[in-house]
Amino acid sequence: MEYSEWFFTGKIYDHPEKDISCELCDHERLRYEHVIMNDKTKQTKSVGSSCILKFADIRIYDSNKQLVTNPDERKKVLKKAFEESKFKLSLIPLRLLYKEMNESDQGKIENIVEFAKKKNGITPNDLIWLFSSMKNKKIEYIPGLYKIFLRDVSSQIDLKMAVKHPGKLELIFHAMSASQKKTCGVSDFMACRVVNCVNGL
């Protein structure tokens, strides 16, 4: 089947419960819904990113509205759209938290968001503070939407220190990437918690 009339809209939705299926390949339990549209009928379909890449005639445009045809570049555009979508979703609970905080803490949240925009991540200590604050205020959030910044020595040390404290580790464990977990030796949170308790940490 040809999909030359279809294009990726740039819209991506997160479904933590994995309750939808790809409308191209019928793959079930789709976590991230990528929306494509038929430019003639205006019909939309919910699909997985792999199907967009698989069907090369589904058009993908970059931020300058230029058609992207190179397979590697198509993948990069989808990845960028995915990261932007996650960042927008991550701001929703932060806005709720902002309203609940005093002026000083509101300033701290603003600084964290600005840092995240520039560095594409949040330092371990700042993320622990955010998650702890949202938990105390009973604000729902999805840890996996937030990226941990580890590009400087200070942040790397902070993460290693957090790993030694079960309470802190529990807060940020699901925000850690697979490589970050591997580097810190915490591929499994419960196993790590048991080891820490045995060691008196």
Domain boundaries, the chain: 6-69, 82-198
β-sheet with 32-38: strand ranges across: 6-14, 32-38, 44-47
Residue pair 60/78 in contact (Cβ under 8 Å)? The answer is yes
Q: Which residues, 6 or more positions from 185, have their beta carbon under 8 angstroms from its beta carbon?
A: 163, 192
C-alpha torsion sign, points 146, 151, 156, 158: negative
Above pLDDT 70, what percent of the chain? 93
pTM of the model: 0.75
- How far CA 169 is from CA of 32, 162, 166, in Å, comes to 26, 6, 5
pLDDT tens by residue, 103-120:
999 999 999 999 999 999
List the pLDDT tens digit at each of the 201 positions of the chain. 789 999 999 999 888 777 889 999 988 888 889 999 999 999 999 999 999 999 999 999 999 999 999 999 999 999 999 989 989 999 999 999 999 999 999 999 999 999 999 999 999 999 999 999 999 999 999 998 999 999 999 999 999 898 888 889 889 999 998 888 888 877 665 444 534 433 333
**Sign of CA pseudo-dihedral 85, 126, 141, 201:** positive
Tokens representing 130 are: 């955010």
φ, ψ at 71 (rounded to 5°): -55, -45
Contact indicator for 189, 196 with CB cutoff of 8 Å: no
How many other C-beta atoms lie within 10 A of the C-beta of residue 49?
20
State whether the Cα torsion 167-168-173-175 is positive or negative.
positive
The pLDDT, as a whole number, for residue 74 is: 96
Supply the DSSP symbol for 30.
B
Q: Which two tokens stand for residue 170?
A: 């529990």
Alpha-carbon distance of 90 to 121, in angstroms, equals 11
